[in-house]
Structure 1
Amino acid sequence: MPLTQEIAAFCSALRHGDLPAAALPFIRTGFTDCFATLVAGRHSEPARILHATLDPPAGESRLFVDQGTARAPEAAWLNATAAHALDYDDAAQKGHLSVVLVPAILAEADACGADGKAMASAYAAGYETWAELLWREADLYHNHSWHPTGVLGPLAAAMACASLRGLDAERTAAALSIAASQSAGLIANFGSMTKPYHAGRAAHAGVLAARLAERGMTASPDALEHPKGLMQGLSPRGRVDVAAPARIGREWRLSRDGVNVKKYPTCFASHRAVDGMLALLGERDWPAERIARVVVSISRRNKSTLRFERPDDTMQAKFSMQFAMAAAALARRCSLLELTDDFVRRDDVRAFMARVQVEPLDEEDTARPGEAPQDIVEVWTVDGLHARRAVDYVRGGPELPLLPGELFDKFSSCLAAGSFAGDARPLFDALMAVDDAPDTRTLYEHMGR
């Protein structure tokens, strides 16, 4: 069966009972963490500008959780942009998967009254679609300008929404092919407001593709695997395999790979090094003014992604290893409190950034393409002391998951950052049991409004 058709067949047939038990904790975490970052980012400039530009009429779906309504495509667009605005949402499959899927699913679930089991199945359909397409590509999209969140997100969201709306295999395939013509997202726009727009546009494209297909819009049945199709068009060096039998439905990547919950509101490429720096300082308690030099060794791909050596504002600071190290040294953390323009522009922050050097590592972890086997942080003090820390796994990933209390702490801090006045605990508990929800209304009832 051709690739486009095989993915569509899997997604259209998927039901909650098919999900492996090991996938459910990751789905619940994805919904919970994304909801938190949506609230935290709802007053951000990208969300504000997009909302003012679209000026959407009232509709069937919640907007920014508790700020009116919009039609589902616009709600998904705005909510996903807000949820990615702080770059604090989870990472998976070389991109930001939940931030595309969850806003699209919640918007459509509002519209069609879907229950939590259908929402969980939709998330799994989107995740497995994204993972299926990613493994077929031998090279890294990041190395050829493409942001996976923007280029694979529309397809994943389309499959989630097709699943949620109960489309048959033929119309699900049409939705996938329609979404393929809406794929876009450039690495060059990292550090600007357009990066969160990638996520918003992907969520919007997925909702729209499923709705168009449901109403009968046609598309090529081989838009993914055709020689002039999406996969060949995206492929950095033309080494994409569109002929191999699909693994989707046979190997559950969601159970194996899960999601990486971000401890820090910066690019995920900086996180192992931040873990290492904080660990070193926790052991030695060296004041920032005693630190003469910091050298961070990371993969060449990650070094190119962290492109701003001297960031001018918070959008750029999220993509700066120099800033991440300065925040860790000066504040002994890297949190939303440090992600302000005033902090980025402080004299001591800028002076410390000048003492941070980033070195590329060419050895690649065979199990984690684009990553070095370890990220290494080395620190020298003004009086000649030296410390080194190599970090294998990031805190918040499947190998070193956040503790339940740590996830709730992040959740509650995000709600506070978004000026949410309700009680965080019942909402957190409801989201962590999202697959048991009768509908989205029962989730929103816990907002205390």
Structure 2
Amino acid sequence: MTRAPLTAALGDFVANLRYEDIPGTAVAIAKQGIADCVGVMLAGSAEPAVAAVRSGFAPDTAGGGSSICFGPARAPAHVAAWVNGTAAHVLDYDDVALKGSHPSAVLVPAILAEAEAVGASGRDMLRAYAAGFETWGELISRDSGNYQRKGWHPTGVFGAVGAAAACAALRGATAQEAAHALGIAASQASGVMANLGFMTKPMHAGKAAACGLLAARFAAAGLTAAPNAIEHEQGYLGALSPAGDVDRERAPSLPPARWRLTEQGLAIKQYPVCYRAHRAIDAMLGLVRDRGLDAEAVKAITVRFSPSHSVILKNHRPRTAIDAKFSIEFALACALVAGRVGLRDLVDEFVLSEPIQRLVPRVSIEIEAEEMSGTSGYAPYDLVRVETTAGEVIESEHVRHARGDPQAPLSADALWTKFEDCALWSGLQLDARALFDKLNTLEHCRSAVELLR
């Protein structure tokens, strides 16, 4: 049976995409993703996982043309992409899209590092982001199953190919070079779900960014890959889906016929924890706000969500900040005790504090069996139920869209407040407002170097 020429079609799309072809709404979403990612990258720049990656690369960071986390240190582009990608994902504060992926945490570090190296303009960077996002979206849409439940972390396994598309576009690759870049990246893609809640998980984003960048460079240098590396029965999509849930046959649905950037958008995180906890956090904060709940008066908390959420929010007795990012028990206890879930709450001392540890065992999970198709395993809504020591049972509203979801977007002021808070948290000496404004007018930037001035 003849296979759809998916690899070639994607290569052609990447090579021929022009900035002028991108709808204005898609450009606006891309700028929002880039600005938000830079903010969370700054905030994550001093985290232990990032320090470990930088230390591991120490012999290779004596020089180079690309900035590490907008600070004074520089490194070869692939090293900067790896470090910056890790920093962008380490706090679990980066955006979400494409069936539970974190596209900006991979695409933005790869694009920034290569854009500095080749002197690309802001419009070039936006075009690269669109190429990477749309390629990622086309590929991840082809499986009817749930990649997370299979054990694959989509950010790592799809990020490498998405970053290859972005960097090939940035470098002005031919269609054949772009197709080779995708095939090369397919052989480097990885990331397993077992590492969620450990330092290796954010490195999935960094490695994907670096592998995509290098794949585009290798292709430009003449390295070849199978012309059907993506759709071959023993290729990328087939290997990720051994049960055969993936459609390798259908013709690709790519721009201009379909723009996933505008169709799906980006969910900008309001809280620095796994996104699957966000609807429940909003539900709890709503109860705190509307009912004046006091943590001392709470006897029990029940959260209702999907089986997939239960698998991923797996840390039921968190002891560290890393544990807490994947703990619904911590998320709800934090929202109740602090009235927020923020960067200052995701520290070991607060996780181990008496009010939090007292509430954690009072949280129980109730499973809603229905998972909506087309999602990465979301129930139609999440809710929280609280029983007080006086015997009263209070139920939250049914939360269908977390704050920051494309259906419940953050305001411009909220986006700036998050960026500013991230910059302050980083401790780096930079003009946060000037950087934020440059990123939000990126189409007027003549060179990536201007972002660092």
Question: Hey, what's the Cα distance between the residues in 1 that align with 2:448 and 2:183?
Answer: 29
Is residue 72 from structure 1 mapped to residue 77 from structure 2 by the alignment?
Answer: yes
In structure 1, C-alpha distance between the alignment counterparts of 2:124 and 2:239, rounded to whole Å: 33
2:370 corresponds in structure 1 to 363
Q: What residue in structure 1 maps to residue 253 of structure 2?
A: 247
1:53 to 56, 72, 82: 56
> CA RMSD of the aligned region, Å?
1.0
Q: How does 1:248-287 map to 2 (within 5 A)?
A: 248-249=254-255, 250-287=257-294
> Is contact 1:57–1:70 with CA below 8 Å preserved after alignment?
yes
Equivalent residues of 1:144, 1:236 under 8 A apart: no
2:7 and 2:228 in contact (8 A); partners too: yes
Which residue is equivalent to 1:133? 139
Report whether the alignment pairs 1:5 with 2:13: no
SS in structure 2 at match of 1:391: coil
The one-letter code of the counterpart of 2:449 is R
1:442 deviation in Å?
Answer: 1.7
The answer as to whether partners of 2:17 and 2:127 remain within 8 angstroms in 1 is yes
Residue of structure 1 equivalent to 2:68? 63
1:24-53 per-residue CA deviation (whole Å, 9 max, x = no partner) reads 111011110000011101100011001011
Residues in 2 aligned to 1:152 and 1:96: alpha-carbon distance in whole angstroms: 10
2:246 alignment partner AA: V
Spell out, residue by residue over 1:88-144, the C-alpha distance to the aligned partner (whole angstroms, 9 max, x if none).
Answer: 111111211000000000000000000011100000000001100111101010010
Unaligned runs of 5+ in 1: none
Structure 2: which amino acid aligns with 1:95? S
Partners of 1:67 and 1:41 lie apart in 2 by: 16
Query: Which string of whole-angstrom CA distances, capped at 9 and with x for unpartnered residues, describes residues 149-177 of structure 1?
Result: 01000000000000000000001000000
CA distance in 1, matches of 2:216, 2:318: 40
Q: Which residue of 2 aligns with 1:158?
A: 164
Verify the 8 A CA contact 1:139 1:236 in the aligned structure 2: no
- Picking from 86, 89, 99, the partner of 2:91 is 86
Q: Is the 8 A contact 2:305 2:368 kept in 1?
A: yes
- Displacement after TM superposition at 1:364 (Å): 1.7
Are residue 168 (structure 1) and residue 174 (structure 2) matched? yes
Are 2:394 and 1:394 aligned?
no
Preserved CA contact (<8 Å) 1:77 1:204: yes
Once the two structures are overlaid, the 10-residue window that deviates more, 144-153 or 360-369, is: 360-369
Amino acid at match of 2:21: D
Query: Among 285, 309, 317, which residue is 1:302 paired with?
Result: 309
The match for 1:372 among 360, 370, 379 is: 379
Distance between the aligned counterparts of 1:306 and 1:324, measured in 2?
10
Q: For the residues of structure 2 that align with 1:125 and 1:95, how far apart are their CA atoms?
A: 16
In 2, the alpha carbon distance for the partners of 1:369 and 1:46 equals 27
Counterpart pick for 1:318 among 320, 325, 332? 325
Q: CA deviation at 1:236?
A: 5.6
Query: Cα distance, 1:238 vs. partner?
Result: 1.1
CA deviation profile, 1:273-304 (whole Å, cap 9, x unmatched): 00110011101111101011111011111110
Aligned partners of 2:71 and 2:428 also within 8 Å: no
Deviations 1:255-279 (A, max 9, x none): 1111110000000000000011001
Alpha-carbon distance, 1:441 to partner:
1.9
Report the 3-state secondary structure (helix = DSSP H, G, I; strand = E; otherwise coil) of the residue aligned with 1:354.
helix
**1:221 aligned to which of 227, 251, 275:** 227
Contact 1:139 1:237 in 2 (8 A): no
Alignment partner of 1:177: what SS?
Answer: helix
Unaligned runs of 5+ in 2: none
TM-superposition CA deviations, 1:427-449 (whole Å, max 9, x none): 1111111122111122222xxxx
CA contact (8 A) 1:141 1:236 kept: no
Aligned length: 445
Task: Judge conservation of contact 1:116–1:434 (CA < 8 Å) in 2.
Answer: yes
Separation of aligned partners in 1, 2:45 and 2:375: 33
Deviation at 1:422, TM superposition (A): 2.7
- Measure, in 2, the Cα distance between the counterparts of 1:67 and 1:190: 31
For residue 418 of structure 1, the aligned residue among 426, 431, 435 is 426
Amino acid at match of 1:23: A
Cα gap change, 1:369/1:194 in structure 2, threshold over 3 Å: closer, same or farther? closer
Residue identity matched to 1:397: D
Residues 85 and 373 of structure 1, relative CA distance in 2, 3 Å threshold: same
- The separation in 1 between residues aligned to 2:373 and 2:143, in whole angstroms, is 14
SS of the counterpart of 2:273?
coil
Q: Percent identity?
A: 42
Shift of 1:66: 1.3
Moved more, 424-433 or 26-35: 424-433
**One-letter amino acid of the counterpart of residue 417, structure 1:** W
* AA matched with 2:416: F
Residue 202 of structure 2 is aligned to residue 196 of structure 1: yes
